Amino acid sequence: MLCQFSFENYKSYKSATTFDFQATSIPEFSDSLLTSDKGSALLPVGVIYGPNGGGKSNLLLALSCLISTVVKPIHDLEKSRQHVIIQHRVSCMPFLFDEESRTQPTEFEIYFRQGKNEYRYYLALLDDEIVSESLYWRAIGGKRTGTVFERERSEVVLGAKINKASINRSVNPKMPYLSFLAINYDIPIIAEVQNWFESCIIRSYANPVVDRQVMVSRDEKVRERIIYALNDMGIDMTGYRFDEEEKQLYTQRIVNGKLCELRFDDESDGTKKLIAALPVILLALQEGRLVIIDELDAKLHPKLLRYVIALFKNKKLNTKGAQLLFTSHDMTTMKNSVFRRDEIWFAAENEKHESEIYSLYEIRREDNERVNNTAAYDKQYLEGRYGADPYLSNMLTGGDWS
């Protein structure tokens, strides 16, 4: 499970930026939180709103860049331990509106939980080469932190967990040492970290090609779950069939007592989006994966978007700690009946064309009180009170609270 992600000097983000999945001490939706015996509670869902060009997608790209940088060399050499569902390698680009930033490394730091441990992984990249890298671990809820490895350019120092003479400390300057260890050695603590990175699912529905990428399962139980979810959303479908010769997916319905088939390409855009997205979402829920989706709301009716969000917030369905992080323009779901205040985030550019993010929980009114959990979030956002409104305000000026 993702706890926290920080980065700086990436695309439209110049300064250090942190997105947090750690729950704050607010009362709403407390029964949806991902809890453990010893660690702090985590959020199952996070959504990022903001104007076009404000930095929503770039935040997801920063996280995707880190994940794909670790996973791609492992996957390319067929050393993966998980079914990897990553769209493509995301390039590392620094903030370009500042001469100094162009020559400085892009830095990423991520905290996550896997098994009984919590890990902190740091990676700094400059011109596709590794400047610095480190991996630390501790037991969930523990206070003592252990070093797995530390790297500065070509110099690698191993921690007690993996310090063996047989482990090679020479690595390609463009390859993360984490990836190198995962490819070449069978080390339990590295395998656990590798499994987490490989379990992350990245999807961008800003790219129309993704709507056509459908995971077709031959497992009858999986097929039944997909059909059940589609029916639950109001889409009357009895099954689907993939024709190997035609390389074509057919959806099936009963019409006037007869089985009828329709080519996937002939379905509505919204239905195609659901058929493409649902297998990935259900897999994440089944295995406790992190799903990162840009423009999840594209082509989806707001009721269907709420349904997807509700899947992750339902602990009876989300028993393995799956998480959903997505961007959206859909105001009808910006409700206190859908989200906690710390699950809603905003991204916007300041006057220096630098993106910044902040959560609804962090916003203070003129009386220095937080936004109330009974407020009409969507209405106040469109009035410019939250600062990331695409038309009425920007992040720094704020709005009129009178």
Record the tokens describing residue 113, joined without a space: 């939980």
| Mean pLDDT (whole number) for 209-223 | 71
- The strand pair at 45-49 and 344-349 is best described as parallel
Give dist(CA 319, CA 317) in Å, integer. Answer: 6
pLDDT, position 209? 61
- The strand pair at 85-86 and 201-204 is best described as parallel
Record the tokens describing residue 213, joined without a space: 């990428």
Record the tokens describing residue 90, joined without a space: 């995301």
Predicted confidence (pLDDT) at residue 216 exceeds the cutoff of 90: no
pLDDT, position 270? 83
Record the tokens describing residue 279, joined without a space: 């297998």
Give dist(CA 359, CA 343) in Å, integer. Answer: 7
Single-letter amino acid, residue 169 = R
Q: Which of 110-114, 139-143, 246-250 shows the highest mean pLDDT?
A: 110-114
pLDDT, position 361? 96
Q: Phi and psi dihedrals of 79, rounded to 5?
A: -110, 15
Cβ count near 276 (within 10 Å)? 19
How confident is the prediction for the chain on average, in pLDDT? Answer: 90
Q: What percent of the chain has pLDDT over 70?
A: 93
Give dist(CA 80, CA 195) in Å, integer. Answer: 8
List Cβ neighbours of 186 (8 Å cut-off, separation of 6 or more).
none
pLDDT, position 87? 58
Q: What percent of the chain has pLDDT over 90?
A: 67
For 19-41, the pLDDT digits (tens) are 999 999 999 999 999 998 888 99
Edge-to-edge strands, sheet with 85-86: 85-86, 201-204, 290-294, 323-327, 45-49, 344-349, 355-359
Give dist(CA 129, CA 392) in Å, integer. Answer: 42
If pLDDT is split at 50, 70 and 90, which confidence band does 104 have? very high
Single-letter amino acid, residue 190 = I
Single-letter amino acid, residue 321 = G
If pLDDT is split at 50, 70 and 90, which confidence band does 221 have? confident
Give dist(CA 84, CA 125) in Å, integer. Answer: 23
Write a three-state SS string for the chain. Answer: CEEEEEEECECCECCCEEEECECCCCCCCHHHCECCCCCCCECCEEEEECCCCCCHHHHHHHHHHHHHHHHHHHHHCCCCCCCCEECCCCCCCCCCCCHHHHCCCEEEEEEEEECCEEEEEEEEEECCEEEEEEEEEEECCCCCCEEEEEEECCEEEECCCCCCCCCCCCCCCCCCHHHHHHHHCCCHHHHHHHHHHHHCEEEECCCHHHHHCCCCCCCHHHHHHHHHHHHHCCCCCCEEEEECCCCEEEEEEEECCEEEEEEHHHCCHHHHHHHHHHHHHHHHHHHCCEEEEECCCCCCCHHHHHHHHHHHHCCCCCCCCCEEEEECCCHHHCCCCCCCHHHEEEEEECCCCCEEEEEHHHCECCCCCECCCCCCHHHHHHCCCCCCCCCCCCCCCCCCCC
For 109-134, the pLDDT digits (tens) are 999 999 999 999 999 999 999 999 99
- Global pTM? 0.91
If pLDDT is split at 50, 70 and 90, which confidence band does 94 have? very high
pLDDT, position 401? 40
If pLDDT is split at 50, 70 and 90, which confidence band does 85 have? confident
Predicted confidence (pLDDT) at residue 402 exceeds the cutoff of 50: no
Predicted confidence (pLDDT) at residue 399 exceeds the cutoff of 70: no
For 170-204, the pLDDT digits (tens) are 999 999 999 999 999 999 999 999 999 999 999 87
Record the tokens describing residue 264, joined without a space: 């996937």
Give Cα 376 to chain centroid, integer Å.
Answer: 26
pLDDT, position 389? 54
Reference 402, options 372, 365, 361; nearest CA is 365
